[in-house]
Amino acid sequence: MSANNPIPGIDAGDDNRGAPVIVIGGGVTGLSTAFWLAEAGVDVLVLERGITGWEASGRNGGGCSHHHSPLFAEEQRLWPMMDELLGYPTEFRPNRIRIALSPEQFALYGRAVANARKQGFRADDLDAQTVRELVPLAGDNVHAGHYYHFGGHANPHRTVQAYAWALRDRGGRLRQHVTVTGFRRQGDRVTAVETDKGVFGCDHLVIAAGPQTGRLAAMLQVDIPMRAARAEMIVTEPLPLMPLGGIDGNGLYGRQTLRGNLAYGGGPHEWVETEEQPGGPRPSTPLAGSIARRVAELLPKAAHARVIRSWAGIIENTPDGRPVIDRPAPWQNLTVATLSGVGFGLSPASGRALMQLVMRGHCDFADLSSLRLARFDRLEPDWDALQGWLPAAMASA
Amino acid sequence: MTTDPRSVAGKRLEIAERTQILIVGAGPAGIAAARHAHRGGAQVLLVDEHPVPFETMGESVPQIWGGRMGGAVRNRNAMTERMLEARPDLVELFEAGIDIRLGTACWGLFANQPNLGWMPGLVAGLVDEGQGSHLVGFDQAIVASGRRDMGLAFPGWDLPGVLGAGAALMLARLYDALDSRRAVMLGSTPEALLAALDLIDAGVTIAAVVEQAATPAAPEDLVARIRAAGVEIVTGEAPRGVTSDADGVTGLVLRNRTIPCDSVLLGVGAVPMIDLLHAAGARCAFDNDRGGFVPLLGTGGETSLPGIRAAGDCAGIWPAKTADPALAEAEGRLAAGAALAALGLADAPAENAPQPGPAADLGEYRKAWVRASVVEAVAEMPVCQCEEVTAREILEVSPPRYLNAPHLPNLTRSLTQILGEGPPDPDQIKRLTRAGMGPCQGRRCREQIQALLALQEDLSLGVVPLAGYRSPVRPISLAAAAMPEDPAIAAAWDSWFGMPRQWVPFWDVEEHYTVAALATEKEHVSE
Ligand SMILES: Cc1cc2nc3c(=O)[nH]c(=O)nc-3n(C[C@H](O)[C@H](O)[C@H](O)COP(=O)(O)OP(=O)(O)OC[C@H]3O[C@@H](n4cnc5c(N)ncnc54)[C@H](O)[C@@H]3O)c2cc1C
């Protein structure tokens, strides 16, 4: 069956033309998947409820160093070539210095180093003096640091749009302001996607809808345990560029942007009710003050820099905080992806893995067994309450 | 009941003080609200950011000061005294025992709403240059933050001497520190002409009023008053540039002539200052008769956030309200009355808020100005001054110049082709071009970009969404933004979620995940 053949009840207008592969979600995961599919010559359509990258994909720290993930090696291989591959700038910059202000922080940050070294990546220990030489805004409070010769950071906005533009350049389509509301199926196949703008036929469906992935999959009787949380970041006015922008530590993630702003996050998150549809308020809170305090500790010579904005994003989380990238039974033509809070940096690799899952049923460059849905087969039904992951209102009810 | 130790659950906000009614802004609406609330028996805290620190003024916050604040504004004590002279009502409120804090900005209001549940009631963030930031708990807030001027680009508008019409009036009246003798007014709206008349009163010569349209926008009686004051009204013209020297503007260049002046006043749009309300999550919508985006309000000035109200210019600007402070005062009293009622201190007020009459098409007027001044400019200039982004770069959605990216093939594409369907969203433009991302927090470019996008796609102005505001709505240094903190926050601080298994290397992951298995501790709880 081809999606371009009319399906009963489907509006055959050109705008509402289905596609061999439909991807739900115009965040980094969905767009990277669609990009890789288009690159492989597949006719792909992305359906997005709002605008490109409006959710977590446009609100994150831009970090690309996921040493714990089976996709780490591919993440590291791909980032340096993404600008060229996509044809648009992502502002990717390699490497990172992680600053520890105490021996405890140094020990904690050493674990990432151990993981990376084990996979053949280089990291150097830095003494306080060297940190200060490499990081002009650092101060006398430095204990020590690590120099990662891997990882790095990119600009989330530019990256997510680069995927979208690269997709378009390869003939793929992205429809914005289209909300998926349901599915049509025939036996063990999903045949079409129902939306507020009509029905779109598909041969294969990818659900990459961030926090809504679980809710959408549940409509197909696939249970992906998930909970959503809000996290916040702040950004300062631009400061003179440091030699390396990838500077973090002291309990913060973030970077100096190529424009010079300091953009950092960290600290407590809040468990929230998963929205029926995304697009509600994304309030930030006075936690900005706690983040500001720690940025000023991390980079004391920037203490005068003015905070000009804060923001918040809603993060998709599975019970163990690890992605689900899988083709769930019993469906013959369904792929699901939720990245569980590490999706930005992994996106070049997750998209490529998902492309392979769609086209061949397996990934040939990474062992994705730890990302299978089946790992939750024995999960306690009240896992979220047991982990304290219920929103405040529900917890007290 | 288990709580996630790294979440906000069980963590306190350090609330330094409490008040029953917080009033933000000590203009006519805020003063009237404070007086009424105090008389009604409520505990009132009235804050006003003026005098604004000199450094902040230099960033065009909260007004487009255009470098025309005289040296006197550096002396904060003198400015505070000056403010009290200019607003004798404030002295009376001080004497009545109301807690009034001048030079104190409110940078955020926080209320529980979808996706936020841990606020211990309503909370405001205040900052004062000397004392840094702290939090105030309140039962009711009345935001009376006033208005600001719409920015309008033309070649040279980034030089000292190009300032907002309202900003000029504020410098003249409130600070007695307007560094300008001879000004040209751009725009002939009632707001612009009333500002011109007040400035003439304050001793400033208005060399001319320049209007791009064929006829003035204000009604005839106002136009007659301007003419009677000896001011020339030049129609069918928009600025082509300025002449300047080391001190900034020396003249405004029109098609065939240059008008000597030391300042150019932006009077094409008076904009309700909704930053605080929008950032707090109050629903806002474009209202042609109220000067643009305004909060949606109920009869007691209540926003969509229970307990947070708006009064005065931030609730809407129209000619009668500009001409007569009594309207803003009435709104202030009404909001205070409703706040008292909500506190159980009074019956709900019976009167109705003043309403605007139907106004001329504000969207068409602002678009026409942006077309005449920005789109038809004879040279390229930044529309976003902080990030130096031109109109062309905005409409082509170009990456910032520092990337040295090859020119994107966007020139030949419509915004819909570039950004996807739906009205072009200024926030998406901001993310991609950086227009609106700088330290002035989009105060100088927001309305222009809205008009540019509407012009480009041939949309009515109100269809283009508002570029969002985020706290802190005033720039605050990292050092000053750090506030007292519950030790529980520091004790559980983690760079990310601190999940027991999130960072375990993949080769070490168990086949099945259960909560019970977490009893076996592994490393990698945090990262
Ligand atoms: C503050 C913060 C900091 C972060 N820092 C980092 C970091 O440094 N490094 C890192 O790797 N990750 C980081 N993350 C996490 C990362 O941003 C996310 O993991 C990633 O963006 C997830 O991308 P996604 O495409 O899977 O989901 P999303 O970005 O959530 O996109 C899902 C899309 O699906 C759409 N959608 C949902 N339901 C429907 C429907 N019914 N119909 C149509 N469309 C729908 C949504 O509108 C949305 O655009 C951070 C996140 C936040 C919030």
At residue A8, does pLDDT exceed 70?
no
CATH of the domain at B47: 3.50.50.60
Q: Are B367 and B451 in contact (CB under 8 A)?
A: yes
What are the phi and psi torsion angles at B159 (to 5°)? -85, 155
Subunit contact A286:B495, Cβ cutoff 8 A: no
Portion 201-240 of B in contact with A at CB < 8 A: none
Q: Which residues of A are less than 8 Å from B434 in CB distance?
A: 259
Q: Residue A9 has what pLDDT?
A: 44
Q: How confident is the model at residue B414 (pLDDT cuts 50, 70, 90)?
A: confident
**CB of A180 closer than 6 angstroms to any ligand 1 atom:** yes
Subunit contact A310:B515, Cβ cutoff 8 A: no
Q: Whose CA is nearest to atom 35 of ligand 1?
A: A25
Q: Are A217 and A336 in contact (CB under 8 A)?
A: yes
Q: If DSSP codes are grouped into helix, strand and coil, which group holds residue B139?
A: strand
Q: Which residues of B are less than 8 Å from A271 in CB distance?
A: 4, 7, 9
Q: Has residue B413 been placed in a domain?
A: no
Portion 22-81 of B in contact with A at CB < 8 A: none
B190-201 helix and B220-228 helix, angle to the nearest 10 degrees? 30
Subunit contact B494:A386, Cβ cutoff 8 A: no
Q: What is the mean pLDDT of chain B?
A: 96
Q: Residue A1 has what pLDDT?
A: 36
Task: For ligand 1, pick from A35, A45, A49 the residue to mutate: most ligand atoms within 8 Å of CB.
Answer: A49
What is the C-alpha to C-alpha distance for residues A237 and B29, in angstroms, rounded to an integer?
A: 32
Q: What domain range is B103 assigned to?
A: 15-148+271-342
Q: If DSSP codes are grouped into helix, strand and coil, which group holds residue A182?
A: strand
Ligand 1 atom closest to residue A54's alpha carbon, by position in its atom list? 49
Q: Which residues of A are less than 8 Å from B275 in CB distance?
A: none
Q: Residue B422 has what pLDDT?
A: 86
At residue A2, does pLDDT exceed 80?
no
Question: Which residue is closest to A373 within chain B, CA to CA?
Answer: B512
Subunit contact A176:B431, Cβ cutoff 8 A: no
| Strand (E) or helix (H) holding B136 | strand B132-143
Q: Residue A345 has what pLDDT?
A: 98
| CB-closest option in A58, A272, A395 to B115 | A272
The stretch A332-354 carries a mean pLDDT of 98
The stretch A293-306 carries a mean pLDDT of 98
B76-86 helix and B88-95 helix, angle to the nearest 10 degrees? 100
At residue B442, does pLDDT exceed 60?
yes
| Alpha-carbon Rg for chain A in angstroms | 21
The stretch A344-370 carries a mean pLDDT of 98
CA A212 to ligand 1 center in whole angstroms: 10
**CB of A253 closer than 6 angstroms to any ligand 1 atom:** yes
The stretch B426-430 carries a mean pLDDT of 96
pLDDT digits 0-9 by tens, B301-335: 999 999 999 999 999 999 999 999 999 999 999 99
What is the C-alpha to C-alpha distance for residues A327 and A21, in angstroms, rounded to an integer?
A: 14
pLDDT digits 0-9 by tens, B232-284: 999 999 999 999 999 999 999 999 999 999 999 999 999 999 999 999 999 99
CA atoms B48, B54, B60, B63: torsion sign: positive
Subunit contact B421:A177, Cβ cutoff 8 A: yes
What is the C-alpha to C-alpha distance for residues A234 and A264, in angstroms, rounded to an integer?
A: 6
What is the C-alpha to C-alpha distance for residues A304 and B208, in angstroms, rounded to an integer?
A: 42
Q: Does B463 touch chain A (CB under 8 A)?
A: no
CA A306 to ligand 1 center in whole angstroms: 28
What is the C-alpha to C-alpha distance for residues B260 and B242, in angstroms, rounded to an integer?
A: 9
At residue B106, does pLDDT exceed 60?
yes
pLDDT digits 0-9 by tens, A171-207: 999 999 999 999 999 999 999 999 999 999 999 999 9
Alpha helices by DSSP H, B241-324: 275-280, 319-323
Subunit contact A67:B505, Cβ cutoff 8 A: yes
Q: Residue B421 has what pLDDT?
A: 83
Q: Residue B527 has what pLDDT?
A: 66
Ligand 1 atom closest to residue A233's alpha carbon, by position in its atom list? 1
Q: Are B175 and B68 in contact (CB under 8 A)?
A: no
What is the C-alpha to C-alpha distance for residues B170 and B48, in angstroms, rounded to an integer?
A: 14
Q: Which residues of A are less than 8 Å from B423 in CB distance?
A: none
Residue type, B81: E
Cα angle B53, B58, B60 (rounded to 5 degrees) comes to 100
Q: Which residues of B are less than 8 Å from A341 in CB distance?
A: 496-497, 502
CA A178 to ligand 1 center in whole angstroms: 17
Distances in whole angstroms, Cα of residue A299 to Cα of each of A1, A155, A157, A256, A261:
59, 21, 25, 11, 13
pLDDT digits 0-9 by tens, A132-154: 999 999 999 999 999 999 999 99
Q: Which residues of B are less than 8 Å from A176 in CB distance?
A: 420-422
pLDDT digits 0-9 by tens, B110-148: 999 999 999 999 999 999 988 899 999 999 999 999 999
Number of structural domains in chain B: 1
pTM as predicted: 0.97
CA B190 to ligand 1 center in whole angstroms: 46
Q: Residue A50 has what pLDDT?
A: 95
**CB of A300 closer than 6 angstroms to any ligand 1 atom:** no
Please report, rounded to a whole number, the percentage of residues in chain A having pLDDT higher than 70.
95
| CB-closest option in B403, B431, B489 to A268 | B489
Residue A332 CB coordination number (10 Å): 12
pLDDT digits 0-9 by tens, B366-406: 999 999 999 999 999 999 999 999 999 999 999 999 998 87
Which numeric CATH code is attached to A93-153+227-317?
3.30.9.10
Subunit contact A311:B470, Cβ cutoff 8 A: yes
SS3 content of chain A, % helix, strand, coil (to 5): 30, 25, 40
| Distance of residue B478 Cα from the nearest chain A Cα, in angstroms | 5
Question: What is the CA B87 to chain-centroid distance, rounded?
Answer: 22
Q: Which residues of B are less than 8 Å from A84 in CB distance?
A: none
**CB of A153 closer than 6 angstroms to any ligand 1 atom:** no
**CB of A345 closer than 6 angstroms to any ligand 1 atom:** yes
Task: For ligand 1, pick from A212, A215, A216 the residue to mutate: most ligand atoms within 8 Å of CB.
Answer: A212
**CB of A26 closer than 6 angstroms to any ligand 1 atom:** yes
**CB of A234 closer than 6 angstroms to any ligand 1 atom:** no
Q: Residue A13 has what pLDDT?
A: 56
CA B404 to ligand 1 center in whole angstroms: 28
pLDDT digits 0-9 by tens, B220-234: 999 999 999 999 999
CA B442 to ligand 1 center in whole angstroms: 26
**CB of A278 closer than 6 angstroms to any ligand 1 atom:** yes
Q: Has residue B389 been placed in a domain?
A: no
Ligand 1 atom closest to residue A47's alpha carbon, by position in its atom list? 43
What are the phi and psi torsion angles at B66 (to 5°)? 55, 30
Q: Which residues of B are less than 8 Å from A198 in CB distance?
A: none
- Domain formed by A19-59+157-226+320-392, architecture: 3-Layer(bba) Sandwich (3.50)
